[in-house]
Structure 1
């Protein structure tokens, strides 16, 4: 089964590039099958990782950035391939 983990954060105004660099530099304790990083208006950053795992498997995720870098708690979602 393929499981996708989505991690989305919104940077403090004007710090979007710094948040993007922070997310790209994070190394997970093991590598996913695939990982993509996106950015959007309002200094938002999205990271999606794909795993060959069961839906409820314990998988490594990106941590919370420091409060000085983001405006709110990170949003996280988990999906399985349909």
Structure 2
């Protein structure tokens, strides 16, 4: 069974580039080192948002918390189960 874990965060005003840099330099290496990881991707979106999607063969590992003051609100997290692959 493959699980997709999504992590989405909105940066505090004017700190989108810092949040993206933190995700690239801290969150990605932390997730990449975890057992059961199949794939991980990092995205940006309008509104100073950063999205990390990781595919897991086992229990998803959590994304570390960004530094205080970097976020406009707490990060959102969702886990999905793959039901069909094409």
TM class, shorter-length: 0.7 to 0.9
* Structure 1 residue ranges, 4+ long, deviating more than 3 angstroms after superposition: none
Q: Which moved more, 1:6-15 or 1:27-36?
A: 27-36
Structure 1: give runs of 5+ residues left out of the alignment: none
CA distance in 2, matches of 1:64, 1:30: 16
Superposed displacement of residue 66, structure 1: 2.1
CA distance in 2, matches of 1:64, 1:41: 21
- Give 1:15's aligned residue: 15
User: RMSD value over aligned CA atoms?
Assistant: 1.3
- Give 1:24's aligned residue: 24
Structure 2: give runs of 5+ residues left out of the alignment: none
CA distance in 2, matches of 1:16, 1:61: 21
Which secondary structure does the structure 2 equivalent of 1:33 belong to? strand
Q: Deviations over 1:15-63 (max 9, x none)?
A: 111101111112224152100001011100000000112xxx3x32212
Instruction: Normalising by structure 2, report the TM-score.
Output: 0.82
